[in-house]
Structure 1
Amino acid sequence: MAEPGRTLKSLLDALDESVHGLMAAPRGLGAVVRSVTVVDDAAPLPVGTLAVVPGEEADALADRNPEGVAAVAVTGVPDGGAERLRALGLPVLSVDPRLTGKEFADLVRAVLDTPGDEPRHRDLFSLAQTVATLTGGLVSIEDSAGAVLAYSAADEGADELRRRTILGRGCPESFLAHLRAWGVNERLAAGEVVEVAERPDLGAERRLVVGVLAGGRMLGSIWVQIGDAPRPAATTRVLLGAARLAATHLMRTHGARSGGDPAELAVGLLTGAFDTDALARHLGADPGTPVSVIALALREEAGQGGWLLDRATETASVYAASYRSDALVIPACGLLYLLMPAPSGNPAPASWVRDLVTALRQNLGTPVQAALAGVAPRMSAVPSLKKVASRTLDVVRDRPELTVTSFEEVRSSVVLRELIDDLAERPHLRDVRLDGLDEEQCRSLAVYLDTFGDVTRAAELLHVHPNTLRHRIRRIRTLTGLDLDDADQRLLASLTLRARR
């Protein structure tokens, strides 16, 4: 069974700006935090606790040599005790000076109450941050009683209602009464995205809210403080998609779903290594329904892969859920795969995929590309289309202007790439006469063949004089015995040279 609690890294991710800095982490961020304790006397501290201590008392805590403590959070201005705590091997956090020790401890408990260390793309705090990024607002996710489950990073633009709601771990009754009077709850139960006007007397700026529903039952709500800012065009779609994801998370948290990690099981749909139909049913998908297969390549820089893929998975999940509630978003092999049920047999609209790619490019800052592999007639045919999608992305790697590409658009290039890969693995099928050519000769012959023997055009591409190229080709003929007037020899030579690139 997984150890209860959250790693310190996960906790820091969720708390965001409530922690002003990491003053020390001599042993990394892997310690598991199981509880939080406000230090106010000499009482023993539980093993695995996050000890919250005023800065002026950090020295006294160091004197106690608090063995078993997972980390220390210092409020106010730390004194030399922080250095002594670091010398003991303890991670030391600096708390937002606007928060008291009790307020910060309440925030930590709110995070610990959410079953964690889940993968970031299924974490409510991560979902809240993604919605904030896509809408430009400040987000909180609440349960059906108005208790705060998660929220996006703090911001100077937060109004008084948001601050009171988060620090108090619930929405003030005065605002809840306002919502009841305006019939907001009934509209949320009907599946609407509701705009709630500002109420300066309640310390509330303009907000959007959507209900988190499951089987007609209200599980909670997602709130976005937007103030006077214009609403982005995709906001309604983003909120509806986020509500569906939040419903899945809350049902799983309360035991409505069980048995295996859905993210890990979903990878089995792509590989075909397991009983595909059984996996599909377990994940709530109909194995006999046609499914549109889409792959996304982030094209990230070296070292960005892990966290960037998590962010992309969250964003894609929000968009996919707004389009199809039964869509599956699966990170695998460094790519992101979307399985979109298509009962009519028609693929997901390219315009929808293009909107998703645009959102990912804007929020990730990388030249994301998408490949539309086609529609699998049933779930068991997905693995073959997965390969088609990944090969399509390979073909367009050097053409970042192609944001969305279908397999049909690059079929020839994909098939040729597959032939060349087979040729590289079966060297006896190559034209071995070309093995003795140097790089310049290979390059010259390849361009000459690619331009169908047009010496003038080939010379331009090679940046040489046409007579220089003619001399090289004659020399190649002599060295290899290659008959360039023979169509079969030209084709085999071209494939051999491509396999060498």
Structure 2
Amino acid sequence: MQPLPPPESPSGHGAPGGPPAPGAVEPGQRRGAGEERGRAEARPVVDLHRLLSTLDEQLLSVVTAPRGLDVAVRDVVILDPDDDPEPRPGDLALVVGARGRAAARLVRIAGRAGAAAVAVKPPGGGRPPGGAGRGGWEEGERAALRRAAEEAGVALLAVPPAARWERLEELARSVLLDALLADSDLEPARDGLTGDLVGPGTAGHPEPDDLFALAQTVAGLTGGLVSIEDTSSHVLAYSRSAGETDAVDELRRLSILGRQGPERYLAMLRAWGVYRRLREGEEVVRVEAHRELGIRARLAVGVHAGGRQLGTIWVQEGTRPLSPTSDRVLLGAARVVALHLVRRRSGLALSARWNEDLLAGVLEGRLPAAEVLARIGVAPGGPGCVVAFTLPGAPQPARDPDRAAEPMLGRTEIEWERAETLRVIALHAAAYRRRALVTVLGVRLYVLLPDLPRHGGQAAAVGWTREVVAEARRHGPVVRAAVGAVIVEPDGIRASRAEADRVLDALAADGGAGGPAPGGGAGPEVAVLDDVRTRVLMRELLGLLAERPGLRDPGTAALLRRDAERSGVLVESLAAYLDHHGDVRPAAEALHVHPNTLRYRVRRAAETAGLDLDDPDQRLLVHLQLRLARSGLADGPA
């Protein structure tokens, strides 16, 4: 179904009008909770904290929450005083037909039924004149409803007077739907839309990924305020406005509330051909600011799949200029969002983890590489490689106040950091190569980059990887990356991954992301095998020594045990002496001791281990054994 012409826009940025999203309330029609009885009982679960944090105070604010914000939200229902309301446990009940104090009866009914929360608008059409409380509420009205909610044990949420109920319902359902998609294990769809839908998805990982999380990531990478809309201009998801409230212009505010933007501005967008350009392809379109209309500058990109437009991503400029890399970020975001929108259109038929499972299956040897590459449309014989990234393994300090204040929504900090790192890398991978695949195995993230240049393919991959690592560092914890060998045959994908793992193992042995390299200084953040070949080979040699205790000298093992038991200094002294090729003075300086002290310790160590340090073979063997002890590869003293 091709998009309709834009002039008849009901809301948002003026894109085509169309039927309401599934589950929306049509004008003049209200649905009672009893009509939901036929739905399947397997419903998604999102805690109220996450729902509120995702939708932001632009649509919902907490008046009271007697059971806290950890209560489970399972569904969204409409309560109308003219119906016989039958809310269920876990419902978010939207009180459409009554405002203010008049909604108290429905609040009590919802509380007795175990509803998670009740959303109510203030009385009248807006802020009453004089003596009004927050959001148009008279304090008496607010107190009466608060009392009813607390007596019923249900959270009471305030809805802005200008918000459209159908828009609030759509967005709340969107959060629930994304939670369900993140847990779905259904088979891939074959609906004609999925032909272009290969590339980095971001689901199937420790934290549920959804359009709201993607919008927030894009906002962080661009420095703007993001909204994701379908072709009917329904806002599907948007970024929070924390710290940027004053920068939200009228068009964004009205779009989120479900209202139409200024018609004069929408007419200009049509006259400038903005909608036509968004329909025609992946071009990132810039729309200049119009201060006289209260409209700030914007970037926009169409979301496409199978030759059809599925939606649009808009980025409004905030209090500072957008990032210079915003165009590239938006291109990647459009390709990732396309996966989410097709899953919705396909009735959950496209697995949230399909693309991730394809690459994981190849890397683990469960799927034939040639068949997978053919499935995603990669031409045979084209150069490609695997890039491996470390995922955050320890908490990192927040980089900016907005991020520091962001709620964790029940996740550990490490899980949050990993999910954010995954989204950043997936967006950049999609922008760089449409058919790139991304997956997570253990604590590493892998990207398959196909269609590299035939000459200089690895250099191109390294350049891209450096940009991604730098971007990740600006927005989160430091990560490291290793670029595997460039291969042209599908069966070489696992070998490319193995090489990347070898390099990353060596980098991790240097102290982890940002840790020191041997000899001091920081190790590289991005490397190929040629950069660290000596470290890779030494680590693998020590690994063989760890696996075969019979190759180790018993005297050196006794020295290691003795030093460990007595917290001695003989081992570190002997190691420094050998590291400096027997030159006492620099070795002593490294340990901050007198050269004579070091000579004494080395002599004691040699006597304890029964070593002849004039014998080059013994020196080599003991040096390797001491390196093994420092590497952590051996169980117990080496």
Whether TM exceeds 0.5 here: the answer is yes
Q: Distance in 2 between matches of 1:424 and 1:80?
A: 72
2:249 counterpart of 1:159: yes
Q: Distance in 1 between matches of 2:143 and 2:380?
A: 62
After superposition, residues 216-227 of structure 1 pair within 5 angstroms as 216-226=307-317
Pick one of 46, 50, 60 that aligns with 2:92. Answer: 50
Q: Distance in 1 between matches of 2:442 and 2:116?
A: 34
Tell me what 2:54 maps to: 14
Structure 1 residues without counterparts, runs of 5 or longer: none
2:350 counterpart of 1:308: no
2:94 counterpart of 1:33: no
Structure having the higher strand fraction is 1
Alignment partner of 2:536: what SS?
A: helix
Tell me what 1:179 maps to: 269
Tell me what 1:467 maps to: 596
After superposition, residues 5-404 of structure 1 pair within 5 angstroms as 5-8=44-47, 10-18=50-58, 19-20=60-61, 24=65, 26=67, 29=70, 31-37=72-78, 40=81, 43-47=84-88, 48-52=90-94, 63-64=108-109, 65-73=111-119, 79=143, 92=155, 94-95=157-158, 99-100=160-161, 103=164, 106-113=167-174, 115-117=177-179, 118=182, 119=203, 122-154=209-241, 155-156=244-245, 157-168=247-258, 175-188=265-278, 189-200=280-291, 202-226=293-317, 229-255=320-346, 258-259=350-351, 261-262=353-354, 263-281=356-374, 289-299=382-392, 301-302=394-395, 303-345=412-454, 346-347=457-458, 348-364=460-476, 366-377=477-488, 378=490, 379-396=493-510, 397=512, 398-399=515-516, 400=522, 402-404=524-526
Residues 121 and 152 (structure 1), Cα distance of their counterparts in 2 relative to 1, 3 Å cut: same
Q: 1:35 offset after TM fit, Å? A: 1.2
Tell me what 1:486 maps to: 615
Q: Distance in 1 between matches of 2:586 and 2:41?
A: 65
The structure, 1 or 2, with the larger RCO (C-alpha pairs under 8 Å, 6+ apart) is 2
Name whichever of 71-80 and 388-397 sits farther off.
71-80
Q: 1:34 offset after TM fit, Å? A: 1.5
Q: Distance in 1 between matches of 2:607 and 2:424?
A: 59
Alignment partner of 1:479: what SS?
A: helix
Q: 1:158 offset after TM fit, Å? A: 0.9
2:521 counterpart of 1:409: no
**Aligned letter for 2:431?**
S
Name whichever of 99-108 and 6-15 sits farther off.
99-108
Contact 2:388 2:497 in 1 (8 A): no
Q: If the length of structure 2 is used for normalisation, what is the TM-score?
A: 0.69
Q: 1:311 offset after TM fit, Å? A: 1.0
Residues 20 and 282 (structure 1), Cα distance of their counterparts in 2 relative to 1, 3 Å cut: farther
Name whichever of 480-489 and 5-14 sits farther off.
5-14
Q: Distance in 1 between matches of 2:443 and 2:360?
A: 12
CA RMSD of aligned residues (A): 3.4
1:423-468 CA deviation, whole Å, 9 max, x = no partner? Answer: 2333222222112221411111111111111111111112221112
Residues 93 and 413 (structure 1), Cα distance of their counterparts in 2 relative to 1, 3 Å cut: farther
Q: 1:422 offset after TM fit, Å? A: 3.3
Contact 2:499 2:529 in 1 (8 A): no
Contact 1:6 1:116 in 2 (8 A): no
Structure 2 residues without counterparts, runs of 5 or longer: 1-39, 122-136, 183-202, 396-411, 517-521, 631-638
Q: If the length of structure 1 is used for normalisation, what is the TM-score?
A: 0.86
Residues 24 and 349 (structure 1), Cα distance of their counterparts in 2 relative to 1, 3 Å cut: same
Tell me what 1:431 maps to: 553
Q: Give me the identity figure in percent.
A: 40
Residues 101 and 170 (structure 1), Cα distance of their counterparts in 2 relative to 1, 3 Å cut: closer
Residues 164 and 259 (structure 1), Cα distance of their counterparts in 2 relative to 1, 3 Å cut: closer
Name whichever of 32-41 and 214-223 sits farther off.
32-41
Contact 2:163 2:257 in 1 (8 A): no
